[in-house]
Amino acid sequence: MRTLYVIGIGAGDPEHLTLQAIKAMRRSDVVFIVDKGAGKAELVDVRRGMLAEHAPDCRIVEIPDPPRDRTATGVQAAYEGQVTDWHHRRAALFADAVRRELDYESVGAFLVWGDPALYDSTLRVIDLMLAAKSVEFEYEVIPGITSIQALAAKHRIPLNRIGESIHVTTGRHLAEGLPPGVDNAVIMLDGACAFSDVPGDDFDIYWGGNVGTRNEVLVAGSLRSVEHEIEARRSELKDRAGWVMDTYILRRHRP
């Protein structure tokens, strides 16, 4: 039976790769890399660099990412519909590639940014591929270091304070306000600097853009005193690197 590894590769620093990830890469005959387009070539280059160093004999097959409709900005149901449609198109492309490139006994791998369990569609796409029954395979998930862990390590802080929860959410949800009682949150996938609209002057922010890469930028401080600096440095980072992925922790002061 074909085997597929879904390998978390860490969030940008090639040294995030685990020994388990390296061993899975070495066992793979073919590694599929999803190409997200010209502006994000560095994301493909990081993966190619890891393979050149750790699994130079595997064959690399690039799969172009199908275009995604991003017009639904407000209504949750419309947003979810667009994402589901994109997952189905990805599943069809991935299934074609697996059928074409891997014979029945071969081993393939998908390299996933960070960890496959955190805000990533690959495992949902794998489920769709299996449900469609157009290609047969077994699969195994290899965990990776997430952008959240990388950010906390760079700022040298624990994620939770004593006895407190940590809430993980997106910029889209933050724009609707933090849920009542949430005083400590990690925000991902925020293309619009939603922190600027968080009311009050009792939050600290620990922000990181392109953490672990050569262009990494870190800013920490009281939200109201550093928010404009973050906006400016985020925009410079995007110009310099061609892409930006940022994550931050928002933490209300404790009495």
Ligand X SMILES: C[S@@+](CC[C@H](N)C(=O)[O-])C[C@H]1O[C@@H](n2cnc3c(N)ncnc32)[C@H](O)[C@@H]1O
Number of residue whose CB is nearest ligand X: 114
Q: Are 138 and 126 in contact (CB under 8 A)?
A: no
Closer to ligand X by Cβ: residue 64 or 136: 64
Closer to ligand X by Cβ: residue 91 or 241: 241
Q: What is the DSSP string of the chain?
A: --EEEEEE-BSS-GGG--HHHHHHHHH-SEEEEEE--GGGHHHHHHHHHHHHHH-TTSEEEEEEPPP------S-HHHHHHHHHHHHHHHHHHHHHHHHHH--TT-EEEEEESB-TTSS--HHHHHHHHHHHTSS--EEEEE----HHHHHHHHHT--SS-TT---EEEEHHHHTT-PPTT--EEEEES-TT-GGGG--SS-EEEEEEESTTSTT-EEEEEEHHHHHHHHHHHHHHHHHHHS---EEEEEEEPP-
- Rounded least distance, CB 188 to ligand X, Å: 3
Closer to ligand X by Cβ: residue 28 or 146: 146
Closer to ligand X by Cβ: residue 153 or 202: 153
Closer to ligand X by Cβ: residue 20 or 106: 20
- Rounded least distance, CB 181 to ligand X, Å: 23
- Residue 92 structure tokens: 């069809």
Strand 138-142 relative to strand 3-8, pairing: parallel
Where does this chain bind ligand X (CB under 6 A)?
11-12, 113-115, 118-120, 146-147, 188-189, 208, 210-212, 245-247
Closer to ligand X by Cβ: residue 25 or 102: 25
Closer to ligand X by Cβ: residue 108 or 212: 212
- Sheet hosting strand 184-188, strand order edge to edge: 167-170, 184-188, 246-252, 203-209, 217-222
Torsion angles phi and psi, residue 57, rounded to 5 = -90, -10
- Rounded least distance, CB 9 to ligand X, Å: 10
- Rounded least distance, CB 167 to ligand X, Å: 15
- Rounded least distance, CB 233 to ligand X, Å: 13
- Rounded least distance, CB 34 to ligand X, Å: 12
- Rounded least distance, CB 140 to ligand X, Å: 17
